[in-house]
Homo-oligomer: A and B are copies of this chain.
Amino acid sequence: MPIGEFELIERYLSRLGAQRDDVVLGVGDDAALLRPPPGLELVLATDTIVEGEHFPAGMAPADIGHRVLAVNLSDLAAMGAEPAWALLALTLSRADPEWMREFASGLHEIARQHGVALVGGDTTAGPFTATVAIAGFVPPGQALRRSGARPGDEIWVSGTPGDAAAGLQVLLGQLDAPADVLEPLQQKFRRPEPRIGLGLVLRGIASACIDISDGLAGDLGKLCAASGVGGDIDSTLLPRSAAMRGAMDPEAARRVALAGGDDYELLFTLPPGTDAAALERAAGVAITRIGLVVEGTGVAVDGEPVEREIGHGFDHFR
Interface residues, chain A, CB within 8 Å of chain B? 2-6, 8, 24-25, 28-36, 38, 41-54, 75-76, 78-79, 81, 85, 87-89, 91, 94-95, 119-127, 129, 131, 133-136, 138, 140, 143, 145-147, 209-211, 222, 226, 312-313, 315-318
Contact = CB atoms under 8 A, between A and B. Distances in A.
Given A4-B318, A131-B89, A43 B32 contact: yes
Contact of A127 (B6, B33, B94, B127): B127
Nearest to A43: B31
Contact of A54 (B124, B135, B315): B124
Contacts of A25: 143, 145
Contact of A125 (B53, B79, B120, B134): B53
A41 B29 contact: no
6 contacts: A29-B146, A31-B75, A33-B143, A34-B43, A44-B119, A49-B124
A29 B209 CA distance: 9
Given A5-B316, A24-B41, 16 more contacts: A4-B312, A4-B315, A5-B317, A6-B313, A29-B79, A29-B226, A30-B78, A31-B134, A33-B138, A35-B41, A44-B85, A44-B133, A46-B133, A50-B91, A129-B129, A135-B135
Given A30-B79, A35-B42, A95-B317, A50 B87 contact: no
A190 B66 CA distance: 36
Given A35-B41, A43-B33, A79-B33, A316 B2 contact: no
A159 B94 CA distance: 34
Contacts of A147: 29
Nearest to A39: B38
Contacts of A85: 44
Contact of A44 (B31, B54, B81): B31
Given A30-B211, A124-B50, A145-B29, A318 B43 contact: no
Contact of A47 (B44, B122, B317): B122
A314 to B, nearest CB: 9
Contact of A32 (B30, B32, B44, B87): B44
Contact of A42 (B5, B30, B36, B124): B36
Q: What are the nearest 7 A-B pairs in CB distance? A: A133-B133, A31-B45, A125-B316, A30-B78, A50-B126, A95-B317, A127-B127
Contacts of A76: 30-31
